[in-house]
Amino acid sequence: MSHFTTPARAVGNALSKAPLRQSSRLMSTCLNASSAARPAARCVSRAQLHQQLAQRRTFKTVEEAKSRYRSGPFTWKAGILFVVTAAGLLYYFEHEKERMRHKRIADSQKGVGAPKVGGAFELVNHDGQTFTDKDLKGRYSLVYFGFTHCPDICPEELDKMARMFDLVQAERPGALTPVFVTCDPARDGPKELKEYLAEFHPAFVGLTGTYEQIKAMCKAYRVYFSTPAKVQPGQDYLVDHSIYFYLMDPEGDFVEALGRQHSPDQAAKVILAHMKEWKGLPQAA
Amino acid sequence: MGLLSWFSGESEADKRATEIRTGTVAPSRAERQRCWDARDAYFSCLDANGIFDALKEDKKAAKACGTQSREFEKDCATQWVTYFKKWRVQEIQKKARLKELEAQGAIKMDVNTDFASRK
């Protein structure tokens, strides 16, 4: 330890003899030579630094210099302006962040290379009338694929869809069209769909078509489609299909897929959150 | 059986039941519920008798749960009966696997496949 103390003391001695101009540089030297055994050296350098600062700034009185030194450039006006600006910016950025988040989710499906879900189609609704993608434009739509002979999943999911539709409808009447597309056109005609869907929700739109039309529709929505093309009359079969709800925006672009893990409440919240960004409101429900 | 009842004069209800069994018509909500109830009764009988696969152990199942099986097959489409039996096997395997994983100290997590974060 002794051989450390000696050089430190030497620095201190040198410091006390050094000219004023070099004091600031010397002070850093003094601090770098870390040792508890030289408070004298530190004291000297501080005093010199203070002296130098006082020389550079010219104040009329010592009091003036002292008060200026204490408060710095701070005034009450500047403080209030700072706080108000900060609060304003914070609010703006939070708001923008939330808006961009929703926009990003919606846009992620539109960009180049992103999967294009949905598109033009021509089918028949449960009243036997032609129904195309144009009939879905102007409001959000919730599209679900299934078949009336479905043993357990579709009926459960359709009950869920009815609940989430009612929840959305309560907040934004007429903003959402619930659509059920059959994957089993051979057995699900308009009449069968009408009977089937009436037990879930009167607002549900049932869509069917020819085998080719339904196959094209499933392909457009990236729905796994396994319906046999040629079925013997009276032959029973089940259909494998994807079990997502597809949320489509008023332009017919895919927004988000809602799965079985969403409760109706969660799903309705997600749908309503997307609708918040939507400016257009339908005139009538 | 179908031929016999046809000769004996089939009632509307029987006709409807036959149509559901063969898959000619889709069951209504009430008919679906009846089928599910019959299925649950049949499955609890299988559980009680320690039968794992009702399709492979059909003889054992028929002996132990004959009554429930007849109800199940009466109230559900034939395709559904097969589907539900297969589904039960998978469900048991799934539950066993989950239990095994939990015993190994796996942590259950909810997976969201969508892009939005939940709040």
Rounded to a whole number of angstroms, the distance from the CA of B49 to the nearest CA of chain A is: 25
Widest distance between CA atoms in chain B: 64
Per-residue pLDDT band at A244 (split at 50, 70, 90): confident
What is the total count of domains within chain B?
Answer: 1
Which burial class, exposed, middle or buried, applies to A200 when counting CB atoms under 10 A from its CB (0-12, 13-18, 19+)? Answer: buried
- Measured between beta carbons, which residues in chain B are less than 8 angstroms from residue A105? 115-116
* Interatomic CA distance for residues A35 and B100, integer angstroms: 62
Asked if the structure places residue B35 within a domain, the reply is: yes
- Between B25, B32, B111, which is nearest A155 by CB? B32
Domain that holds residue B71: 28-89
CB contact under 8 A, A258 and B80: no
Q: Quick check: is B48 in a domain?
A: yes
Inform me whether the C-beta atom of residue A115 falls under 8 Å from chain B C-beta atoms. Answer: no
Does position A51 have pLDDT exceeding 80, yes or no? no
* pLDDT confidence bin for A109, thresholds 50/70/90: low
Residues of A in contact with B78 (CB under 8 A): 236
Beta-carbon separation of B23 and A237 below 8 A? yes
Average pLDDT on A88-95 reads 93
Rounded to an integer, the average pLDDT of A188-192 is 93
Distances from the Cα of A15 to the Cα of A24, A43, A116, B16, angstroms: 10, 10, 75, 109
pLDDT at A111 over 70: no
Is residue A233 less than 8 Å (CB to CB) from chain B?
no
Q: How many CB atoms lie within 10 A of CB B94?
A: 10
Cβ B111–A261 below 8 Å, yes or no? yes
Contacts of B64 (CB under 8 A, 6+ apart): B45, B46, B49, B51
Binding residue positions of A for Cu cation: 150, 154, 241
Distance from CA of B14 to the nearest CA of A (A): 17
- Measured in angstroms, the CA of A65 and the nearest CA of chain B are apart by 54
**Angle, vertex CA A194, rays to CA A188 and CA A197, nearest 5:** 95
Residue B103, in any domain of the structure: no
Instruction: Render each residue's pLDDT in chain B as its tens digit; 119 residues.
Output: 445 445 555 688 888 888 888 888 889 999 999 999 999 999 999 999 988 888 888 888 888 899 999 999 999 999 899 999 999 999 999 999 989 988 888 887 766 555 444 43
How many CB atoms within 10 Å of residue A70?
Answer: 8
pLDDT in tens, A148-181: 998 988 899 999 999 999 999 999 998 999 999 9
pLDDT, position A27: 44
CA distance B91 to chain A (A): 14
Q: DSSP string spanning A90-148?
A: HHHHHHHHHHHHHHHHHHTTTSTTS-------EEEETTS-EEEGGGGTTSEEEEEEE-T
A vs B: CB pairs below 8 A = 59
A236·B23 Cβ contact <8 A = yes
The reply to whether B71 falls in a domain is yes
Give domain status of residue B42, yes or no: yes
CA A53 – CA A45 distance, rounded (Å): 13
Q: What is the ipTM of this complex?
A: 0.77
User: Is B113 within a domain?
Assistant: no
Look up residue A37 and give its two tokens.
């055994």
- Cβ distance A222 to A117 under 8 Å? yes
Q: Is the pTM of this model over 0.80?
A: no
Q: Tell whether B40 is covered by a domain.
A: yes
pLDDT at A276: 85
Tokens of A237: 């079969």
- Would you call A256 and B116 a contact, using CB atoms and an 8 Å cutoff? yes
Q: At what angle are helices B66-75 and B29-48 packed, to 10 degrees?
A: 160
Q: How many residues are there in chain A?
A: 285
Query: Average per-residue pLDDT in chain A?
Result: 77
Can you list the alpha helix ranges (DSSP code H) found in B23-116? Answer: 29-48, 58-64, 66-75, 78-103
